[in-house]
Amino acid sequence: MAYETLLYEVQEGVAILTLNRPDVLNAFNEQMFQELQEALRTVERDEAVRVVIVTGAGRGFCAGQDLAEMQARYVQPAEAMSIGEHLRSRYNPLILRIRNTEKPFIAAINGVAAGAGCSLALACDLRVMAETATFVFNAFAKIGLIPDSGSTWFLPHLVGYGRAFEAATLIDRLEARRALEWGLVNAVVPPEQVLPTAREWAVRLRELPGRSVGWLKRALQRAATFTLEQSLEYEAHLQEVAARTPEHRERVEAFLKRRGG
Ligand code: LHQ
């Protein structure tokens, strides 16, 4: 499928998904949702894709919902469509797809992320951020909405309630330096290093046995709602399966051989 609002390329097992509406800082519109859905289906199905990088074209990462389209489609018409339904049918499946796909996602945050653009970044497994980029979590509250697309869940899980509340209300521009200090991102680099860093991480992830990375992604996510007992049991269950893979056997053998064992 030829995309208009996305750029999609796969190089040596790494898919780069670039949101491509730079004039509006890559805000989500209906077409982008359709295309994202298709691209993520491709990512899931294509065994050659091992890691996915999500980034933005131009100076922004993603400015969240396209407000002009929202105004036209949901607010102005006499029979306005339900925003709750819009979230359920567009944003929520996108976020869940990223979380549930057993392939790692890296957000390469090249520029400003606002509203649901922040949520998109937080749904990914790793984040590298340009030192000039910012998060605008209070974009939601500023237009009389609440953080959505998972931000009310991701934020407190990542930074704790107090900082989450502050980010969602008081902070107009959460700068990269503070995002790093809070643990919202894994690294902050000069803008020209954002994509190279994401690629470097992707190559390193690609070198790991894909199935174990997928399973550990699942287990780490379940931990958010599991008790220690449940996590221990889930680990035992997944490890039983992981230990039967040829990748596990090969890697242990290679390790022992290197040591002359
Ligand atoms: C935009 C946008 C945008 C359209 C910049 N839309 N054009 C889900 C479901 C249903 C309902 C509602 O919400 C949601 C989730 C959400 O995401 S709600 C939050 C929606 N997003 C926002 O409220 C962010 C709005 N944008 C901004 O506050 C600023 O643009 C930020 C802080 C992102 C960047 O500021 P600047 O760097 O100063 O850039 P700018 O404001 O000059 O924007 C550049 C252009 O992009 C400009 O167009 P123009 O023609 O003047 O160059 C903006 O109109 C356009 N743009 N965000 N969301």
Q: Whose CA is nearest to atom 26 of ligand 1?
A: 63
Architecture of domain 6-206: Alpha-Beta Complex (3.90)
Tens-place pLDDT, residues 83-97? 999 999 999 999 999
Instruction: Please state, rounded to an integer, the average pLDDT across all residues of the chain.
Output: 96
67 C-beta closer than 6 A to ligand 1:
yes
Q: How far is the CA of 139 from the centre of ligand 1 (A)?
A: 8
Q: Is the pLDDT of residue 2 over 90?
A: no
Q: Is the pLDDT of residue 79 over 80?
A: no
Residue 72: pLDDT band with limits 50, 70, 90: confident
Range in 1-5, 23-27, 62-66, 246-250 with the lowest mean pLDDT? 1-5
Beta 60-62 vs 174-175: how paired, if at all? unpaired
3-class secondary structure, 146: coil
The string of DSSP letters for 167-226 reads HHHT-S-EEHHHHHHHTSSSEEE-GGGHHHHHHHHHHHHHHS-HHHHHHHHHHHHHTTT-
Tens-place pLDDT, residues 210-249? 999 999 999 999 999 999 999 999 999 999 999 999 999 9
174 C-beta closer than 6 A to ligand 1:
no
For CATH 3.90.226.10, list the domain ranges present in the chain.
6-206
Q: Which atom of ligand 1 is nearest to the CA of 65?
A: 17
For CATH 1.10.12, list the domain ranges present in the chain.
210-260
What's the pLDDT score for residue 35?
98
Tens-place pLDDT, residues 127-157? 999 999 999 999 999 999 999 999 999 999 9
114 C-beta closer than 6 A to ligand 1:
yes
What's the pLDDT score for residue 76?
66
CB 104 within 8 Å of CB 126:
yes
What's the pLDDT score for residue 207?
96
Q: Is the pLDDT of residue 75 over 90?
A: no
Structure tokens at 98: 């990223």
Residue 255: pLDDT band with limits 50, 70, 90: very high
Q: Give which of 222, 208, 215, 220 is closest to 239, Cα–Cα.
A: 215
Q: Is the pLDDT of residue 251 over 70?
A: yes
Q: Is the pLDDT of residue 186 over 80?
A: yes
Topology of domain 210-260, per CATH? Lyase 2-enoyl-coa Hydratase; Chain  A, domain 2 (1.10.12)
159 C-beta closer than 6 A to ligand 1:
no
What does the alpha-carbon distance between residue 157 and residue 60 come to, in Å, rounded to a whole number?
25
Residue 33: pLDDT band with limits 50, 70, 90: very high
